Amino acid sequence: MKINLGTVDRLLRLVVGLVLIGLVFVGPQTAWGWIGVIPLVTALAGNCPVYSLLGFNTCSTKKPTD
């Protein structure tokens, strides 16, 4: 599994996932908040399957200098 998420993208997904899961316990308290598991898991794994399908990559890789 190739990492295709950059640091900022991962942090945003982590925050959004935690906020959505928090809505299950506080706020409207609907089961829809569990959808936050998806961005949370993708942030922790560093890989987004949708990005892979579409060919996106927000991860900056450093090229070795010769």
Q: Dihedral of CA 53/38/9/24: which sign?
A: positive
Note whether residue 26 is domain-resident. Answer: yes
Give residue-wise pLDDT tens across range 35-48: 999 999 999 999 99
Question: Do 13 and 65 contact (CB within 8 A), yes or no?
Answer: no
Query: Average pLDDT of 4-12?
Result: 94
At residue 29, the pLDDT reads: 83
Question: What is the count of structural domains for the chain?
Answer: 1
Note whether residue 61 is domain-resident. Answer: no
Structural domain containing residue 22? 7-54
Of 55, 60, 53, 14, which Cα lies nearest the Cα of 37? Answer: 14
Note whether residue 2 is domain-resident. Answer: no
Q: Is the pTM of this model over 0.75?
A: yes
